Structures are given as structure tokens and as C-alpha cells.
Amino acid sequence: MPVRIGDVEHLEFEDFYQGNRDACLRAVLAATGDRQLAEDLVAEAFTRAWTSWRKVGRHPAPHAWIVRVALNTRVTWWRRRRHEVALAGHEAVDRTATGDDDVDPALLAALRRLPRRQREVVALRVFLDLDTETAARTLGIAPGTVTTHLSRAVATLRGDLATVNSQEGER
């Protein structure tokens, strides 16, 4: 029985999704610090990838494309939400709880304290293991800027996590 083109694309996307979903989720989680939001963003990004799979499948780093779309979607959602008004008498949902067993909560807390661009660089360089050039293209910045942001982020994280570890050791 001959295989239709659509079936091949479906199988390629399914393989891509299965092989990259967790890494993309960890990267977006590192950038956002919020498990539920990260899951929503990654699901949206994979949906967009599926609808444009012929283009995305040829991208040099499709998993970086997913993360970038997820982070861009976060900005779009934030812009929409800043105009929303909370209803009186309703508590806002605490979105800082992650329930994630894969990433240390102390690391997530330290990542949340980093500036946005540093979180994005850490997500791409550390969690997705992208090279500097690919991370720079994904973020639309110079490779030297990626290196600088990563260096500053690592120094800050090192200091924050050393403080957390010393405080836990005193208990």
C-alpha cells in the first residue's frame, strides 16, 4: 500500500513531538518559572508547528523554533492580560507552584529572579543545549550578547544557589 505525503508528514511531526516535547517544556519552564503556563505555551507552539510543519520541519533547529514561538506567545498573552480587570472577591491563582519533579524548585526560583533575556538564553543554551549561534538567531540578538547574558546569568545563579545551599546546611 503506498504511503501518502500527509501520512509521512504526520509521522515526521509525531516523531519530532515525541523526541522534543520534554526538552522544549523544560526550556520554556526555565524561562517562565511556571509549570502550567509553560505547558500551555509549549502546547500552543506545537500546535502552530503542526499547522506549518512543511516550513518548520525544514527549519535548522525546529525545537528552538518551538521555544521561541512559546516565548513570543507568552508576550502576546501578557499584553492581552494587562488590560483585563480582576473581578472583585476572586483571588488570583498562584502560578508560582510548579509541581515539576524534573527541575529543582530552588533553581526555578533563582531563574525567576533573572532578567527575561537571561532566562531565555539559559533556556536555549542550557536546557536545549543549542550552540551560541543558533541561540542568537533564535532570539534575534548577536552571538556576543548571548555569551554575555549567559555569563551573567550563570554568575547570578551560582551566587543564589550557593546562598540557598549554605542556608540549608545551617538548618
- Give 13-47 pLDDT, tens digit per residue: 999 999 999 999 999 999 888 899 999 999 999 99
Is the pLDDT at 167 greater than 50, yes or no? yes
- Give 64-116 pLDDT, tens digit per residue: 999 999 999 988 777 666 655 544 444 444 444 444 456 778 888 888 899 99
State residue 140's pLDDT score: 92
Query: What type of residue is 5?
Result: I
State residue 87's pLDDT score: 47
State residue 83's pLDDT score: 54
- Give 111-153 pLDDT, tens digit per residue: 889 999 999 999 999 888 899 999 999 899 999 999 999 999 9
State residue 99's pLDDT score: 47
Is the pLDDT at 169 greater than 50, yes or no? yes
| pTM of the shown model | 0.62
State residue 17's pLDDT score: 96
State residue 104's pLDDT score: 79
Domains and CATH numbers, the chain: 5-170 (1.20.140)
Distance CA 35, CA 108 (A): 10
State residue 98's pLDDT score: 42
